[in-house]
Amino acid sequence: MDKKEIIDSYWNCFLKETSREKDFKYFECFHFDLTEKWANELLKLVLEGKKRATSSSLLYYQKNDIPLPKVGDCSIVTDWEGNPKCVIQTTNVTILPFKDITFDICKREGEDENLQSWQEGHVTFFTADGSSEGYEFTWDMPVVFEDFEVVFM
């Protein structure tokens, strides 16, 4: 089976086991981060229930003409190699400048013990992502902060 067939089969299993309509589509299929190490580490945090949110640059969505996630959307999370591991459902979406993200907000990502650590890691991420996606990180950059829950494993 190729990756698309594996993803389709996983999604169809999710639809059947959660009694959802067959025409219900997933918002996106993705892995976290830009490296294998962090993609798999962040996935592990999701599967353990420690990571319940993620953040992205609003500029990424705008530059790539991608619709923003909305409450109720479901997405497939994969490991680095594209193997589906769970389905998450968006429970809240907040957009605010990077500089205004507090530890009460970012701690839901489950990655850091304090705000400074989160900021350092995300400045690095957004700088690298922006370099490849055509936007520039600034402390005023709008961030899409998405809360979610795992609804299928």
Q: What is the mean pLDDT of residues 141-149?
A: 98
pLDDT of residue 151: 98
The domain spans of the chain are 3-152
The residue written with tokens 């957009």 in the block is 95
Q: What is the pTM of this model?
A: 0.93
Mean pLDDT within 5-13:
97
pLDDT of residue 119 exceeding 90: yes
pLDDT digits 0-9 by tens, 62-99:
999 999 999 999 999 999 999 999 999 999 999 999 99
- What letter would DSSP give residue 24? -
The Cβ of residue 145 has, within 10 Å, a number of other Cβ atoms equal to: 19
| pLDDT value for 148 | 98
Model confidence pLDDT, tens digit, residues 21-66: 999 999 999 999 889 999 999 999 999 999 999 999 999 999 999 9
**pLDDT value, residue 1:** 79
What value does the mean pLDDT take over residues 1-6?
90
Q: Strands 84-97 and 142-152, how do they pair?
A: antiparallel
DSSP state of 125: H
CATH homologous superfamily of 3-152: Sulfate adenylyltransferase (3.10.400.10)
Sheet holding 53-57, edge to edge: 29-30, 74-78, 84-97, 142-152, 53-57
